[in-house]
Amino acid sequence: MTNTKNTSKNTTAAYEDQAVKGKPSAAEAVFGNIAKPMFSGKKATTPLKIALTALLLVVLFVLPIYLQGMGEALLLASLVGIGLYVILALGLNIVIGYAGMLDFGRMAFYAVGTYAAIILAIPLANLLGPSLEGLVFPVVMVGAGLVAAFVGWLLSLPVMRLRGDYLAIVTLGFGEIVRITLQNNPFDLTNGLLGLPKSGDFMPSPPFFEYLRDTVQWAIGNEFFFTVTRNVYWYYMVLIMLIIAIIVVRNQDNSRLGRSWAAMREDEVAASAMGVNITKAKTWAFVLGAFWGGIAGACFGFFLGGISPEPFSFLNSVIVLAIVVIGGMGSIPGVLVGGVLIMGFPELIRWFAMNHLGQAGGDIQSMVANFRNLFLGLLMVIMMAVRTEGLIPMKPKFYKLFGKAKSGKGDNSDASAATTGAAPKGGAGS
Amino acid sequence: MKRKLRFILAAMVALALAFALVACNGDDNGYENGDDARNGDTTTFVIGFGGPISQGAVSFGVGARDATLLAVEQANASDEARDLGIQFRVVEGDDQSDPSMAPQVAGALISERDLVGVVGHFNSGVTDPAGLVYNEHGVVQISYGSTRPDLTHMGRDNFFRTCATDALQGPTAADSAWELGFRTAVLIDDSSPYGEGLAAAFKEQWENIGGEILLEERTAQQESDFAPVVTRINAADPDFVFFAGTYDSSSGAGAMFARQLKDGGFEGPTMGGDGIQVDGFITEAGQQSEGTIATKPGMPIEDMPEGAAFIEDFVALTGNTPGGFDAFAFDAANAIINAVYEVARADGVDNVATPAGRRAIIDAVAGINFPGVTGPVSFDANGDSANPIVSTFLVDGGEWIIHPDVSTP
Amino acid sequence: MEFFVQLLIDGLTLGGMYALIALGFTLVYGILLMINFAHAEMFMTGGFIGYGVLNLLSNESTIATASDFFAPLSILQSTQPFFTTTALGFILMMLIVFGVAAVLTGLLGMTIERFAYRPLRNSPRLCALISALGMSLFLQNFVLLAVGHRMVFPTPEFLANLNAVPLFGSIRIAPIDLIIFVTCLVLLFTLDRFVSKSKLGKAMRATSQDKDAAGLMGININSVIALTFFIGPALGAVAGTFFGLKYGVVTFNMGLFPGIKAFTAAVLGGIGNLRGAMLGGFLIGVLEALASGYLSIAYRDVITFAILILILIFRPGGLLGESVVEKV
């Protein structure tokens, strides 16, 4: 992200001129106010909420130790998969949920990130030598994010003028173009269908992995034995990236950029008339959404230890879309729950089938994969008909014209709260 | 709003806990089962199977799964298993031909505590990342259908395969075509790793022996219309067309291609590898499949001493005749089973499913040699099959027969 | 030259199928301003229904199994040789197969409209699009679970025994291609007459111009929309059955690519414009054939998508369409 800041100063500044008075730094436009919304009075920060968040974090950090200790590699690997898709969905959420543009080709950015990371990693590892091998992954991850963001920017150039439904079809086409191009080995970069790394190349190992693997070993009795396996390592890596993504995306939503997205989503023409620079807002939505796709892609490529074009199918783009739509467009908790439900539930059934149903488990497993897609489709239809806003809807935003946004301690003279009389006390934060 | 937040967080905690709880619950059961098995007269070992069952190259996954089940069923009924007090069961992992499923599927197999080896996977793109996990945990992996040549050269000593690589099959196909009097070829691959590897291997040998390639083309996956390619082939007018790919439309489209080639008026034969040497190819391509030539690693199983019995048992178990890579999966499973016997005899049954025992199994597989369904089963230093026979087949009267005009190497 | 003409013929056959599917997209878009993403699945479902009916009429073992369930069906046993071997029987059988596939798929289309799209008529357009995408996913997996992922389409004996028709020089056209091409032309012409001349067609055009005004004039909007959702899928089903006959296989995911290409065709011709969709279908078919003939078939889809993106960006109205002004 820091690199985005450097390269984007000019454009950000230009954008700010268009928006309301007051000039936050470029970093603020991209990150939003990282510190403020979390701890100022803007959010309803109750002790209960803090306690629950802390509990959730503790559970998330302890869970892999328990799972690996008990040898449940399937559940652990599934959690890594969920994490990656949630990061992807968070990126998509910026485009769909915040900016209101439909993207059917999310896999394009995931693919670009994965391939960029691996293509960059191998020469970089040779350059740095074995002693600095650990540096490779962080560098290429940021690099992959930037490459994906750049591709997002490229895509945003021609599609600016497109209407919503046309945009969806164009992104779909773009996703397929990327996948087919990867298959056809352009400039001998992607190695076609055989995938990367090419024969004879080896993926560099990520930072501290070998050290952790060799030093951390806990055993309790005969049944519990914990070491840092690839799954454990990538679980923590993805979890950390996910937390960073949540914090950054959340604050972007609270920034000036986020407000212009909201205005644009609700009514593009009106927003434009009110001085929101639509082009800039759309470009940023694409760039930032693609960035997270690239980050997730880099983790995915290193987690798999190589890549070929098969995972970047249209169906997987639809699954990421379903996570956002079913979870709740524009709602981060919605995306989290959507991701866990859609990616996690089938894996739980698979796990159950493999562990408890013996021979019959095989048939159930194969049905799960198909039934998941069946239900996803049905859920999307039902969701649109009865609950467009998703399982956990986006919270409505209220802004005050003058002074600070309303704090949790009811200042009920606020005009926006009055118009939406139903809004309960203390919930009026953004 | 507060209530909603509380609800959301509670829901998330509940979901996270659900994972842990089910895991917890399951582990108890697994533990009890394992305990019972150890205290009883027999020990049940797990053989993992990995392949596409629900989506992807399903036609190659399901048959191989059944072949693995058959091998285990026969082993469980054998005297050897009874004398040693060993039983096997298969845990299957459905990878859907999708590399991103590999960590989950491999993870699931690894979490079986009595796992002694894995038969799988089919797609080279899945075998590779899944193999990383098996390698990390020191479990033997024998692929039955991953023909990508470099898989055995990645420094993983636990990896073996019973099928021949494309590097072997391609040259034999070229030699057979030359022997049949063909001199000019059109080379098509189906945009799969398998097709690409096979095409490259064929091309190298074909050009070495003096054959000419008039046109090279690649079809996209999930493509069904080949009319323009057929037109190009007709314009190039080769002696035959080499189609490097699989036959079915979900993973390749060999059958559709052969059908349209004949419909489009091309007179010469289509030739392919083991990806089209499947009964399904004949069913899908219909009458237009007559005269198609295909190579396949191993001897024709009908002609092998063990082959007839295998076909009979396979039909009895599944109702279908074995096709594709099923016989290789059968041999792969038996390689693991025999290695387990060997280790159990040497180190005792209790030591088989331990890290040292799994290491011993890898060594035992490396040195294994027994008559399999596809020929003698043994592995070279890299882990490739040391059974380098490739046979050439022909579609005649709606079935695959050994090509009468090609001398078996 | 002969090479070029042969490619042209390949392209026109394929284009005929695209045109049939594209009409479904364009009809719905013209009236509801909605991209019916599930239309590609109508094509697929039509193919599967065609597969079932054709088997029931021509495959002895299927007839035997069906008769066990429902005894009167055993009458098909006696008609089977007539249907499969004689020319008259073959034509009759094809009429039945296409008729049943078209009617059933049309009814399915109406059902989907009633339950998935009608509740969304006043929602934002994106909601309908997501709903359509969900419906597409649902239908694909429903067929996958209920029937299977890949079905071998039977080739009637009569058709299998026909020889390719030589035109001139080395140019020839396969009988099935000829059938597809002629049928497509007949259907397209009929639809064009229907929409421009018949009373119902006039109602459809009125509805597409202004729903509310048409309603005030006494046109039952709901039935017009339902009719649209019948005609589109019915044409798609014909294309799907042709697909099975030509390629010998129907698969649960066969709709996606022809669907996108037909959509491209509809956009190329100007979405909402019937003749535009027909023109677009044939154009895309020919372009694809030429691209794969002179360049490489590997990049054929890339070329189609690139055309789509370029048209949407530079001439969103398409070739025959009018440019649409975004209203507040």
Contact between residue A91 and residue A288 where contact means Cβ atoms under 8 Å apart: yes
Decide if A177 and C302 are in contact by the 8 Å CB cutoff.
yes
Buried b (16+ CB within 10 A) or exposed e, A278-309: bebbbbbbbbbbbbbbbbbbbbbbbbbbbbbb
Residue-level pLDDT at B16: 52
- What tokens were used for C173? 């056209």
Decide if A67 and B125 are in contact by the 8 Å CB cutoff.
no
Nearest residue, CB atoms, C130 vs list A169, A184, A325: A325
Q: Confidence band (pLDDT; 50, 70, 90) for A421? A: very low
Averaged pLDDT, C137-154: 85
* CA gap B197, B193 in Å, rounded: 6
Asked if the C-beta of B16 comes within 8 angstroms of chain A's C-beta atoms, the answer is yes
Asked if the C-beta of B19 comes within 8 angstroms of chain A's C-beta atoms, the answer is yes
- Report chain B's mean pLDDT, rounded to a whole number: 81
Q: Confidence band (pLDDT; 50, 70, 90) for B408? A: low
B409 domain-assigned = no
Chain C residues lying within 8 Å of A370, measured CB to CB: 141, 144-145
Is the pLDDT assigned to residue A29 strictly greater than 50? no
Decide if C298 and B229 are in contact by the 8 Å CB cutoff.
no
The one-letter amino acid code at A85 reads Y
The three-class DSSP label of residue C122 is coil
Is the pLDDT assigned to residue B239 strictly greater than 80? yes
SS3 sequence of B29-97:
HHHHHHHHHHHCCCEEEEEEEEECCCCCCHHHHHHHHHHHHHHHHHHHHCHHHHHHCEEEEEEEEECCC
Quote the minimal CA–CA distance from A45 to chain C in Å: 33
Decide if B197 and A427 are in contact by the 8 Å CB cutoff.
no
Domains in chain C, number: 1
Taking each continuous run of H as one helix and of E as one strand, the counts in chain C are: 14, 4
B211 domain-assigned = yes
List, as one string, the DSSP characters of B109-122: HHT-TTEEEEE--S
Is the pLDDT assigned to residue C277 strictly greater than 80? yes
Q: Confidence band (pLDDT; 50, 70, 90) for A7? A: very low
Chain C residues lying within 8 Å of A374, measured CB to CB: 137-138, 141-142, 145
Return all residues near C209 (Cβ < 8 A) that are at least 6 apart. none
Neighbours of C70 (CB within 10 A): 8
Residue-level pLDDT at A87: 94
Cα Rg of chain C, angstroms: 20
Nearest residue, CB atoms, A310 vs list B18, B99, B108: B99
Nearest residue, CB atoms, C134 vs list A102, A180, A380: A380
Domain of residue C176, residue span: 2-314
Asked if the C-beta of B30 comes within 8 angstroms of chain A's C-beta atoms, the answer is yes
Residue-level pLDDT at A400: 53
Decide if A165 and C34 are in contact by the 8 Å CB cutoff.
yes
B284-322 pLDDT per residue, tens: 888 888 888 988 877 777 777 778 888 889 998 888 888
Asked if the C-beta of B285 comes within 8 angstroms of chain C's C-beta atoms, the answer is yes
- Chains near C with 3+ CB pairs less than 8 A apart are A, B
* DSSP state, residue A275: T
Chain A residues lying within 8 Å of C136, measured CB to CB: 377
Q: Confidence band (pLDDT; 50, 70, 90) for B252? A: low
Q: In a mutagenesis test of the C interface, which of A265, A380, A383, A389 is the best target, namely the one with the most C β-carbons within 10 Å?
A: A380
Quote the minimal CA–CA distance from B310 to chain C in Å: 27
Decide if A169 and C308 are in contact by the 8 Å CB cutoff.
yes
Contact between residue C224 and residue C203 where contact means Cβ atoms under 8 Å apart: yes
B123 domain-assigned = yes
Q: Which of C275, C271, C240, C269 is nearest to C255 (CA)?
A: C240
Buried b (16+ CB within 10 A) or exposed e, B344-354: beeeebeebbe
Decide if C141 and A184 are in contact by the 8 Å CB cutoff.
no
B168-210 pLDDT per residue, tens: 788 888 888 888 888 899 998 887 777 888 888 889 889 998 8
Domain co-membership, B72 together with B171: no
Nearest residue, CB atoms, B99 vs list A308, A347, A358: A308
Nearest residue, CB atoms, C160 vs list B255, B256, B287: B287
Return all residues near A240 (Cβ < 8 A) that are at least 6 apart. none
- What tokens were used for B204? 């190298």
Stretch among A217-226, A304-313, C193-202, C230-239 having the lowest mean pLDDT: A217-226
Stretch among A360-364, A367-371, B375-379 having the lowest mean pLDDT: A360-364
The three-class DSSP label of residue B240 is strand
Name the residue of chain C whose CA is nearest to B229's CA.
C293
Nearest residue, CB atoms, A310 vs list B27, B89, B125: B125
Contact between residue B52 and residue B69 where contact means Cβ atoms under 8 Å apart: no
Asked if the C-beta of A162 comes within 8 angstroms of chain C's C-beta atoms, the answer is yes
Contact between residue B140 and residue B158 where contact means Cβ atoms under 8 Å apart: yes
Averaged pLDDT, A198-218: 80
B265 domain-assigned = yes
Decide if C149 and B58 are in contact by the 8 Å CB cutoff.
yes
Domain of residue B280, residue span: 166-297+391-402
Domain co-membership, B73 together with B156: yes
C299 domain-assigned = yes
Q: In a mutagenesis test of the B interface, which of A75, A181, A392 is the best target, namely the one with the most B β-carbons within 10 Å?
A: A75
For chain A, the structural domain boundaries read 64-312
In sequence order, what are the beta bridge partners of B89? B46
Decide if C305 and A177 are in contact by the 8 Å CB cutoff.
yes
- List the CATH number of the domain containing C50: 1.10.3470
C49 domain-assigned = yes
Domain co-membership, B126 together with B176: no
Chain C residues lying within 8 Å of B248, measured CB to CB: 150
C323 domain-assigned = no
Q: Confidence band (pLDDT; 50, 70, 90) for B125? A: confident
Nearest residue, CB atoms, C150 vs list B234, B248, B265: B248
- List the CATH number of the domain containing B252: 3.40.50.2300
Contact between residue A419 and residue A398 where contact means Cβ atoms under 8 Å apart: no
Averaged pLDDT, B75-99: 87
Asked if the C-beta of A155 comes within 8 angstroms of chain C's C-beta atoms, the answer is no
* CA gap C70, C58 in Å, rounded: 17
Asked if the C-beta of B173 comes within 8 angstroms of chain A's C-beta atoms, the answer is no
In sequence order, what are the beta bridge partners of C152? C249
* CA gap B262, B109 in Å, rounded: 45
Quote the minimal CA–CA distance from B269 to chain C in Å: 18
List, as one string, the DSSP characters of C45-104: HHHHHHHHHHHHHH-HHHHHHHHHHSGGGGHHHHHHHHHHHSHHHHHHHHHHHHHHHHHH
Contact between residue B111 and residue B135 where contact means Cβ atoms under 8 Å apart: no
Decide if B222 and C257 are in contact by the 8 Å CB cutoff.
yes
Q: In a mutagenesis test of the C interface, which of B96, B225, B230 is the best target, namely the one with the most C β-carbons within 10 Å?
A: B225
Asked if the C-beta of A273 comes within 8 angstroms of chain C's C-beta atoms, the answer is no
Winning range, highest mean pLDDT, from A313-327, B239-253, B329-343? B329-343
Size of interface A-B (CB pairs under 8 A): 209
Decide if B231 and C3 are in contact by the 8 Å CB cutoff.
yes
Residue-level pLDDT at B6: 52
A105-154 pLDDT per residue, tens: 899 999 999 999 999 998 888 888 888 888 889 999 999 999 999 999 99
Averaged pLDDT, C73-95: 81
Instruction: Pick A90 or C170 by higher pLDDT.
Output: A90
Decide if C119 and A385 are in contact by the 8 Å CB cutoff.
yes
Residue at token pair 């230009």: A14
List, as one string, the DSSP characters of B337-402: HHHHHHHHHHH-GGGTTSHHHHHHHHHHHHT--EEETTEEE-B-TTS-BS---EEEEEEETTEEEE
For strands B212-218 and B240-244, give the pairing: unpaired
ipTM over 0.90: no
Stretch among A227-236, C1-10, C78-87, C137-146 having the lowest mean pLDDT: C78-87
- What tokens were used for A267? 């009514």
- What tokens were used for B261? 């080639």
Chain A residues lying within 8 Å of C316, measured CB to CB: 161-163, 166
pTM for this one?
A: 0.80
* CA gap A113, B72 in Å, rounded: 43
Averaged pLDDT, C283-306: 84
* CA gap C182, C162 in Å, rounded: 17
Taking each continuous run of H as one helix and of E as one strand, the counts in chain A are: 19, 2
Domain co-membership, B283 together with B195: yes
Q: Confidence band (pLDDT; 50, 70, 90) for A2? A: very low
Q: Confidence band (pLDDT; 50, 70, 90) for A26? A: very low
Residue-level pLDDT at A34: 43
Nearest residue, CB atoms, C137 vs list A172, A376, A384: A376
Domains in chain B, number: 2
- What tokens were used for C137? 């996913």
Alpha helices in A133-277 (DSSP H): 133-159, 164-183, 209-215, 230-254, 256-266, 268-273
Is the pLDDT assigned to residue B35 strictly greater than 50? no
